Structure 1
Amino acid sequence: MNADRSLRELMSLKGRVALVTGGAGHIGRSIGHALAELGADIAVIDISSSGSADAAAELSRQWKVAAAGFDCDLEQAEVVRDLPRRVRERFGRIDIIVNCAAFVGTSGLEGWAVPFEQQADATWRRALEVNLTAPFVLVQAAAGDLRASGHGSIINISSIYGLAGPDWRLYEGTDLGNPAAYAASKGGLIQATRWLATTLAPQVRVNAIAPGGVFRDTPEPFLGRYVARTPLGRMAREEDFKGAVAYLASDLSAYVTGQCLTVDGGWTVW
């Protein structure tokens, strides 16, 4: 019987290709760095071709891996469906998919981060298209690649608002919003994770991460209220999600599928 692999061997992603949607954004960029540091080549997907190219160049320069940017409008199903072909032509394989791109609570959309009565059904549909439909279409199109990998792993980036309802006391007297479509799409992504986990098993593992609120010049009084409600006493930083991604993408979690790992400083334990 062979000796167990070391932790270093289990976490290595050398020879694997990771596709990261929203890869030029705040969390997506951090995820790309985590995967590249472990040796993965990275396909950076973003709606902006210049943004994805810049993020890819940064990864190549810092971690000496192959990285390339791909522009993709996730509201266009046919474009999303063609994305695995484009990545395969560049890298030859796809082993890991991280569905990180999303309309978030601060997105500048009409009828989005406004009171419930003013939230637009057209914007609701756009949010579900990007946050929930695009991951479905992408995984469906890349299922063959992931099955062939031998290490296929999908990580869906959800949210605490896919797990819990909003505490509106945090928002009183602020310009911040919490759209219904965001919560519905992120909750749907967690259930899609469970569905895909049983459907793509045993060749492909499917898990989710539910991040808590991330500090980005977050204004008062929201910041103080949020921190007071969080057991670890602060908002998240992008690097807080690196460990969770490294775990779920690699063979460290080879016997883990269908799970949602909440990385929220304890926000949802109350």
Structure 2
Amino acid sequence: ETKEKEEQFEEIKRTIAKYQGQVTLGKIMTVVFHEGRKPLNALKQHPKFITAWSKEFISAFKGNDQLKNDELKELYSKILDRLNDNKQQAEIFINIFKKLEPLANSKRSYPKTFVLSKPIIDAFKLFESELKEKDISYSVTGDIETKFKGWEIDFQIAFANLIENSIHWLPTSSSKNISVVIKDTSDKLIIDYQDSGTGIDEENIQNQDIFDPGFSTKEEGTGLGLSIAGESFERNKAKIRAISNNEGANFIIEINK
């Protein structure tokens, strides 16, 4: 009976993990719409120009006196430019799907050894366009080659939620930066996440209620982001806590070896 209960509990945890990933994926769909709109518009417009210029180009060959040689070269250059741009815009979509594919995975695999900095960097890449647009810089430093055995996707989900939170509050700050430092000590792995935003109220730091489901200080917040981050870390026997910092929000993630 105990074994059966444990199996049921593990199945519940896997189901929760899957749905948390889908919640995060749903939130990140706004990024897809933001990043995907521009290349879609370009791909929609290009065929019209390419078709018209190609007809002109063919017509020029049929009657050499219609266009001068340098004009032919310019026309050919335009066609090539649009074709190359089509290729670049298509690659934008390919990269978006590559970034999002792990979050959409419905199956939960066994824990594996991975480089700890990879899912953190991957999480930043999800928001690359928005970070650039809002002039937010970021860095991942320290013991970046440190390896850990767990679920890589959990770390990507957790940091995606932390980053999304920072992006919301950073635009009101004069300095816009997110810093992640990985420390490999003798008995622990420590990840220090800091941003230069508005920070966290001392009362919330004392009782750590920011990780409670439903807690949010955003006007239209779901109150799920930090809760999901906390759950994702816990599945990997990691603990996250907020600490006092006058320069912005600061989270410490600790993993016992």
TM-score, normalised via structure 1 length: 0.25
- Give 1 or 2: higher helix fraction: 2
**Structure label with greater radius of gyration:** 2
